[in-house]
Amino acid sequence: MRLCLTLAPRNFPECSDDKAAITRSVQAKEGRIHIDGLPSGEYALALIHDANSNGKLDTFAGIPTEGIGFSRNPTLGFGPPKFAAAQFAVGTGPTGQTVKMKYFL
């Protein structure tokens, strides 16, 4: 699994140009990811099931061939959701997100 957690709407969901984004790779079997010390703010999270470990989301004719998921589990149409559809607040206490992975092919 590859994770992207960002405060920057313009860099969601890829985080490629976001030096402040948190990106991680974890084994899918772990099932949970814990991130400590986040400053308060409005974040959005994107996950991909990078099945072939190539570090990117693979597609065929624009359709993901690997699983994808987003914070708040927004309805997916053509393309990724907007930051606003996936954003959630992080405050001073623990915050959790349960992400449902979606597989199209």
Task: In whole angstroms, give the CA distance from residue 93 to residue 27.
Answer: 26
- Coil, strand or helix: which one is 60? strand
Q: How confident is the model at residue 55 (pLDDT cuts 50, 70, 90)?
A: confident
Is the pLDDT at 93 greater than 90? The verdict is no
pLDDT at 2: 93
Strands 59-60 and 68-70: unpaired
pLDDT at 88: 97
Per-residue tokens: 66 = 């690997």
Average pLDDT over residues 87-96: 91
